[in-house]
Structure 1
Amino acid sequence: MSAGKPGKVSAALKARVEAGTLDADPLQANAAAALDRVSAELSQTKKSRGLLSGLFSSAPEAVRGAYLVGQVGRGKTMLMDLFFDQVSIREKRRVHYHEFMDDMHQAIAAFRKSAHGQGDRDPVAAVVKPVLAETRLLCLDEFQVQDITNAMLLGRLFEKLWAGGVTVVATSNTAPDHLYENGLNRQLVLPFISALKAHVEVVELDGPTDYRRLKFEGEAVYQFGTGPEVDAAMDRLWLKLTGGEQGEATVLSSLGRSIAVPQAAMGAARFGFADLCEKPLGARDYVRLSHAYDAVMLDHVPQFDRVRSDASKRFIQLVDTLYDRGVKLAASFAVPLDELAQDSKTKAEFARCVSRLVEMQSAEYLAAGHRETPVET
């Protein structure tokens, strides 16, 4: 990155500001510059590795990553989107922090049950090895240490990732010094926190404006009825949610399967009802979706009867998952909420779902951030 010339992340951010998609924000500009530095250094080490390949067997030193911290709605996810899209290396992976840690715990459990795990081999080293083989950049969304099982694993796991040359970029609502605050045996996590701060640049994004809240301010997130007027209203809301971007089709990976996303932009995803509720998707798929996006738009939710039993069950599960995570839902319904279920059996199944749908259009729900753990019901 030459002097005076903005990096790719800064350029992409500036283009959105100039197009009116985003408002200029000096904290976001500062974070983009930090991400440009990470991207440039990763690109440089990529060239160095190519030149020195075969001469040295040791892993390269990890590029110092970045840790974007701030309250909800300050643009962390949007900046991560720009960074991940712009960074030039292929060996990159983006995953929600909790999903990554769950994968590691499951891999460790599987290793211990295997023949390889019966001796003195270190299970953490064993499960990190395939990660190192295919990952030089690990992007973690919503880094948040909340339970003792993750807290106990963090130090050994990330020590081996960094030693293996993996660069970590993360977003979080919590500054490193406050991770696992008041947690059980927190003193055991302090060495990891010190190591984290040594391996990442902490970038604060705590400006006064909650951009996520502004997307929904004054908007009716539900439309009722069918036809071009309803579709046009949904199109207008979509463009407000995405800052004027139509979005692009993408794919989410979930337990080795692929979830097609017809439109995605600026932390929002848009689906037709059939895309999510008439395909063989399950709870884990909806959890994956809730981790990937702040807002979900669902077009053409029908009225339900017993003929649509499977679709209605998936719809209820989808709403429960989005609600538990605090994800915002915009949707068009063929009929009013209290008429979604046609017969008495379906109405009984829909009672809680309708109650949650009512709450999810409230100003209080729309103003709140993501929930880290499912709420009690």
Structure 2
Amino acid sequence: MVPPPRFDSVRFGTYVPDPDQPSQTEAVGVLEGFAAGLGGAHASGAGRRGLLGFGRRPAKAPAGPRGVYLDGGYGVGKTHLLASLWHATPAEPGLKAFGTFVELTNLVGALGFQQTVRTLSGHRLLCIDEFELDDPGDTVLVSSLLGRLVEAGVALAATSNTLPGRLGEGRFAAADFLREIQGLSAHFRALRIDGEDYRHRGLPEAPAPYSDEQVTKAAYATPHASLDDFPHLLDHLARVHPSRYGALTDGVSAVCLTDVRPVPDQSTALRLVVLADRLYDREVPVLTSGLPFDRLFSDDMLNGGYRKKYFRAISRLTALARDAKPLIKEVKA
């Protein structure tokens, strides 16, 4: 559980704040101070070893929020800042963890709740990227998990496009789980980051989709590139658990897709969002024919409860399409 390849070398010093957005500069200062404050001994290092040998008994958790929560629109550099915090925190990699919200819930599924608590309680910092609550079960699970970790002295940091007090809004009966949501909010100091999408700030328009022939030729000319028909790819994603989407990209230098068209339903759209995130994390360029990425999701989807996920996916896929442009030039050459 470490930052993905795209964010392996980022640091606070490599973050370029927008001069018109003072909240970005302020966020860097707050997070640098937060990292410096984690330099002391881990809170759970005090006290005697537990009777079952699972580690030391936790000291009493400090009063007030034990975490920072980076809230803002897509493309303002929240993941960059979260990864920079992970790198800046003075601890061995095994004593600090970084993962997406989906990866965290998958970890609980793989290890079980109690073993996950034991595993993460010895950490100094847990960074959770793309924090979101899509169903009531996740709300109760994560609320309980983070409560236990805070009690053990683990510091938390998270990113999201939604304020912690409004998680789950528009997706399920959030009012019925208000206590859990408010409990999550109490663990964090919210830090708002304003600004435009840095992935497209000052850059030319993304390239229009190419022809099927161009994409196919580029795929065969690019070592370790994949080539798939978009509808068939969506069908395949339905048969693979989203926790394995990262593994699908192992060894893939570029993703080439023909016949890109609007996704047919919400479940398919959410699976595609996860794939887009994993491709972006691993810096895999995406070359396509068919419709442009801004027409992947219907108006109903872009106006619904998952709209921020879809806009993030469009932004990231557009950046990867720009990265893929040299593949066409190499074929022409």
TM-score by length of 1: 0.53
Supply the AA of the counterpart residue of 1:170: A
Partner Cα distance (1:54, 1:30) in 2: 40
Partner Cα distance (1:186, 1:323) in 2: 22
1:30 matched to which residue of 2?
Answer: 26
Structure 1 counterpart SS, 2:194: coil
The answer on 1:105 being equivalent to 2:109 is yes
Give 1:170 deviation, angstroms: 0.3
The answer on 1:131 being equivalent to 2:120 is yes
Counterpart contact for 2:15–2:81, Cα < 8 Å: no
User: For the structure 1 residues 198 and 275, does the alpha-carbon distance in structure 2 shift closer, same or farther, using more than 3 Å as the test?
Assistant: same
2:81 matched to which residue of 1?
Answer: 79
Structure 2 counterpart SS, 1:37: helix
Across the aligned residues of Structure 1 and Structure 2, the Cα RMSD in angstroms comes to 4.6
Structure 2 counterpart SS, 1:139: strand
Supply the AA of the counterpart residue of 1:85: H
1:269-289 per-residue CA deviation (whole Å, 9 max, x = no partner) reads xxx751778xxxx77576337
User: For the structure 1 residues 220 and 362, does the alpha-carbon distance in structure 2 shift closer, same or farther, using more than 3 Å as the test?
Assistant: farther
Partner Cα distance (1:363, 1:99) in 2: 25
Counterpart contact for 1:38–1:64, Cα < 8 Å: no
Supply the AA of the counterpart residue of 1:130: T
User: For the structure 1 residues 330 and 105, does the alpha-carbon distance in structure 2 shift closer, same or farther, using more than 3 Å as the test?
Assistant: closer
Unaligned runs of 5+ in 1: 1-10, 109-123, 231-271, 292-296, 304-319, 338-354
TM-score by length of 2: 0.59
Structure 2 counterpart SS, 1:68: strand
Structure 1 counterpart SS, 2:38: helix
1:96 matched to which residue of 2?
Answer: 100
User: For the structure 1 residues 40 and 55, does the alpha-carbon distance in structure 2 shift closer, same or farther, using more than 3 Å as the test?
Assistant: farther
Counterpart contact for 2:224–2:253, Cα < 8 Å: no
The answer on 1:287 being equivalent to 2:245 is yes
1:236-259 per-residue CA deviation (whole Å, 9 max, x = no partner) reads xxxxxxxxxxxxxxxxxxxxxxxx
1:274 matched to which residue of 2?
Answer: 224
Structure 1 counterpart SS, 2:292: helix
Unaligned runs of 5+ in 2: 1-9, 51-55, 228-239, 259-269, 314-333
Counterpart contact for 2:70–2:191, Cα < 8 Å: yes
Partner Cα distance (1:70, 1:289) in 2: 29
1:59 matched to which residue of 2?
Answer: 58
Give 1:69 deviation, angstroms: 0.6
Moved more, 159-168 or 182-191: 182-191
1:101-139 per-residue CA deviation (whole Å, 9 max, x = no partner) reads 13213433xxxxxxxxxxxxxxx4344112224x22111
In the TM superposition, what are the counterparts of 1:141-180 in structure 2 within 5 Å? 141-180=129-168
Bigger radius of gyration, 1 or 2?
1
User: For the structure 1 residues 64 and 192, does the alpha-carbon distance in structure 2 shift closer, same or farther, using more than 3 Å as the test?
Assistant: same
Structure 1 counterpart SS, 2:201: helix
2:39 matched to which residue of 1?
Answer: 43
Counterpart contact for 1:65–1:168, Cα < 8 Å: yes
Partner Cα distance (1:372, 1:148) in 2: 23
Give 1:369 deviation, angstroms: 5.4
